[in-house]
Amino acid sequence: MRLSASHYYTVCSQGILIQFVMPEIPVVDLSNMDLHKDRITNELDKAFSTVGFVYLKNHGIDQEKVDNLFKASRNFFQLPENVKKGYPRDRENFDGYTGRDQEILEDSSSHEVRESYDVTSATSRYPDDSTPEFRLATCELAKSLRQLTTNLLKFMAVGLGLDEDYLSSRHRYVFDGVDKNGTMLRSLYYPSLTGDDIQPGVVRCGEHSDYGTITLLLQDDMGGLEVLSGKEWVAATPIAGTVLVNLGDLMQFWTSDRYVATVHRVRVPELEIQRRSARQSIAFFVQPDNGVVISSLDGSGKHQPVESLSYLKLRLSEAYKY
């Protein structure tokens, strides 16, 4: 019987109750980064080599910027359906609104109950007519997320035994538009669930790995995100003021599986009060620049080389249903 995110129990063939320790998602403190480079590098490397997720605290992002985008996004998602559908996601530019069941991430899902709005730059298509505050709130937060991304990539490069700028130099155009880089900022909204939604095959977000280098995630306090560790699911419980970071497929390919793109999901809550409450999150899906070819850093050839934008387009084409 599972007792917590970090422990579970099982009965062996002799009838003895045995406790196993499940890995918890670690928390890394980024305060005074210049003074603690070695510690931060080692802690991030350990986290990405094991559970594949890490909480960051003292990361330098103003909470007001996060709150502003949550508020602006909520204002948009609570608009009538016919208004939201006036900003449909563009297949080529990756920006716009996606409604329920338009993106299916898990083959066994019959319904994935969530909505999202994607942008790739300050000049993307925003719902300015209906939610004019959305653009400013997004761009302000994106600046901070981009700086945090650069810092993380430098720590990761050193942890992998590379020159400090190896990874960041391949991410020069993050959030500068899909013509240069496929990074997306996605605002996610999981609406309240009715009785019709509570049935087999219905989830808020199906099991999947992310596609790019890393993902920076900001959550509200509702919870629901789970991370697959071995054969067990670990709850990625929201910690106020932190950014949750995980790895994508391209980083797994680059590192020949030293770092793994951990599978995760958002389930339908068991408690009725949580089912009736909407959930929000903001994801910053970081991609290498267009044209960057990802091949095994150790020369092993464990994974076939792939080009950043081509791989992203392939994965998106498999997930979206129009």
What type of residue sits at position 150? T
- Residue 144's pLDDT is 98
pLDDT for residue 196: 58
pLDDT at position 200 is 46
Pairing mode, strands 115-119 and 184-190: antiparallel
| Residue 91 pLDDT | 86
Report the pLDDT value the prediction gives residue 205, as an integer from 0 to 100.
59
Mean pLDDT of 120-143: 98
pLDDT in tens, 25-47: 999 999 999 999 999 999 999 99
What local confidence, expressed as pLDDT, does residue 20 receive? Answer: 40
Task: Reduce the DSSP state of residue 18 to 3 states and report it.
Answer: strand
* 312: pLDDT strictly greater than 90: yes
Confidence band of 159 (pLDDT split at 50, 70, 90): very high
pLDDT at 12 over 60: no
> Quick one: pLDDT at residue 107?
54
Name the band, by pLDDT with cuts 50, 70 and 90, for residue 6. Answer: very low
Residue 135: count other Cβ atoms within 10 Å of its Cβ.
18
pLDDT at 126 over 80: yes
Sheet containing 264-266: order of strands: 205-208, 264-266, 225-229, 232-235
Q: Which CATH superfamily is domain 24-319 in?
A: B-lactam Antibiotic, Isopenicillin N Synthase; Chain (2.60.120.330)
Res 99: pLDDT: 82
Q: Output the CA torsion 76→79→83→84 (10° steps).
A: 50
Looking at residue 62, its pLDDT comes to 97
State yes or no: pLDDT of 94 exceeds 90: yes
User: What's the rounded mean pLDDT across residues 101-110?
Assistant: 52
Confidence band, pLDDT 50/70/90 cuts, at residue 320: low
Segments making up each domain of the chain, as ranges: 24-319
Is residue 101 within 8 A of residue 319, CB to CB? The reply is: no
Q: Tell me the average pLDDT across 125-134.
A: 97
**Minimum mean pLDDT among 40-49, 132-141, 271-280: which range?**
271-280
